[in-house]
Chains A and B, each alone.
Chain A
Amino acid sequence: DAGITQSPRHKVTETGTPVTLRCHQTENHRYMYWYRQDPGHGLRLIHYSYGVKDTDKGEVSDGYSVSRSKTEDFLLTLESATSSQTSVYFCALSGPGFYEQYFGPGTRLTVT
């Protein structure tokens, strides 16, 4: 295991409420990523981070923001959740050789 935890693992929330998902690593790796996975789609990159306070957008970043104030934590925030953001969210980090990514267990988010 690459020492990645995600919290919460499951969440149900109402449309319009803010939601923050947390990804925590114990590996001190520089690069971290947030993906979402929906039926009929592969995983799609939302945002990624290449260091503390250094982040950039992925292919489906609209409606999401991220923050990384310390190496071990990468937060994904839905400012005002919508039903289209119902999904499974995976955090990942790059391995020491950069060639591989290690994924967390996922967070299942339902927006009603």
Chain B
Amino acid sequence: DAKTTQPNSMESNEEEPVHLPCNHSTISGTDYIHWYRQLPSQGPEYVIHGLTSNVNNRMASLAIAEDRKSSTLILHRATLRDAAVYYCILGGNRGGSNYKLTFGKGTLLTVNP
């Protein structure tokens, strides 16, 4: 399985943008890039996913490098509620056997008031 590399931790200030990087140099052509986050004492929460083009939703934006070997999750205005572990995961494009998520250790984001 293709691997991802993320910083162990990052820190930001409330109401400032946050850019969370992820390297995935061995990504295959069919791998989607998924981002999940896990708040303390909760299950992971889906954030966003993409294949080649940049993506936006109500939670975040995903910027994907042209060669797809890296991506960046962008939180436009961090809030205290965004403090969590953020996971960057490569996965297939369908449910079931082609869609097993392999979680790494992720990036622990701390948001300062």
Contact = CB atoms under 8 A, between A and B. Distances in A.
Interface of A: 30-31, 33, 35, 40-45, 48, 50, 56, 58-59, 90, 92, 94-95, 98-106
Given A50-B97, A94-B99, 8 more contacts: A31-B99, A43-B103, A50-B96, A59-B100, A95-B46, A98-B93, A98-B94, A102-B46
Contacts of A104: 43
Nearest to B98: A98
A43 B42 CA distance: 12
Interface centre among A30, A33, A104 (most CB of B within 10 A): A33
State the main secondary structure of chain B at its contact with A. Answer: loop
Nearest to B85: A42
Interface of B: 32, 34, 36, 42-46, 49, 87, 93-97, 99-106
A43 B101 contact: yes
Given A105-B43, A106-B43, A56 B97 contact: yes
A48 B91 CA distance: 15
Nearest to A105: B43
Contacts of A92: 43-44
Contacts of A41: 105
Contact of A99 (B42, B45, B49, B96): B49
25 contacts: A30-B96, A31-B95, A31-B96, A35-B103, A42-B87, A42-B105, A42-B106, A43-B103, A44-B103, A45-B101, A48-B100, A50-B96, A56-B97, A58-B100, A59-B102, A94-B95, A94-B96, A95-B46, A99-B32, A99-B93, A101-B44, A101-B101, A105-B42, A106-B42, A106-B43
